[in-house]
A and B are shown apart, each in its own frame.
Chain A
Amino acid sequence: DAGVIQSPRHEVTEMGQEVTLRCKPISGHDYLFWYRQTMMRGLELLIYFNNNVPIDDSGMPEDRFSAKMPNASFSTLKIQPSEPRDSAVYFCASSLDISGNTIYFGEGSWLTVV
């Protein structure tokens, strides 16, 4: 399997623009997670899905952030409008279940908002 695939790998955008990050989980994995990593705040769980349904979005920072999972093989994290403080690495991860299986991370999307 190709692993968790994220795109774009790097994005530089201007403040106020819309940003869409994409994720393809490992085939057969029922759980999908979105994380954000910054130097100041470390790794933060933003939202996770089970069978395409959002289970916990309490980590989503504000209404500018939204996440969808229209099918089992695709998820998006959207920021609209983007702000410089959104600059971070955004990781997508997936797992078969949450009862003890390994959770696999993608390579991350490096976002810079100028």
Chain B
Amino acid sequence: ELKVEQNPLFLSMQEGKNYTIYCNYSTTSDRLYWYRQDPGKSLESLFVLLSNGAVKQEGRLMASLDTKARLSTLHITAAVHDLSATYFCAVSYDMRFGAGTRLTVKP
């Protein structure tokens, strides 16, 4: 059974700092998704990573995929308060989700 593990589960950051969220998965997959969810809201797609070595960036967020290590990272650069949300990774065609990382960015 495919298992998806995210860490950390909770992350409190100061504005302006950098940090990385990790997503490990247990079986081979050639696609990985990152989503953002604000409290009480739906899930918003951030990135779709489709191949080994794929890197995508949008604003202060950059995602990468290493299929050999079964690892994806979501890197946050110079965090701002608006990035506070829960971030999920999801793996494979049937979208098995990690537990989510609740990010809080403090001034």
Contact = CB atoms under 8 A, between A and B. Distances in A.
Given A42-B99, A42-B100, A43-B88, A103 B94 contact: no
A71 interface: no
Contact of A103 (B33, B41, B99, B100): B33
Interface in A74-94: 91, 93
Contacts of A98: 93-94
A59 to B, nearest CB: 9
A75 B99 CA distance: 26
Contact of B97 (A42, A48, A104, A108): A42
Interface residues of B, number: 20
B42 A91 contact: yes
Contact of A56 (B90, B94, B98): B94
A45 interface: yes
Given A42-B100, A43-B88, A106 B42 contact: yes
A100 B45 contact: no
Contacts of B93: 98-99
Nearest to B100: A42
B43 A105 contact: yes
List 5 tightest A-B contacts by C-beta distance, closest first.
A98-B93, A43-B97, A105-B43, A100-B50, A102-B45
Interface of A: 33, 35, 42-45, 48, 56, 91, 93, 98-108
8 contacts: A33-B94, A45-B94, A45-B97, A48-B94, A91-B42, A91-B43, A102-B48, A107-B41
Given A105-B42, A105-B43, 14 more contacts: A33-B94, A33-B95, A35-B97, A43-B97, A43-B100, A45-B94, A91-B42, A98-B93, A99-B31, A100-B50, A101-B48, A102-B33, A104-B45, A107-B42
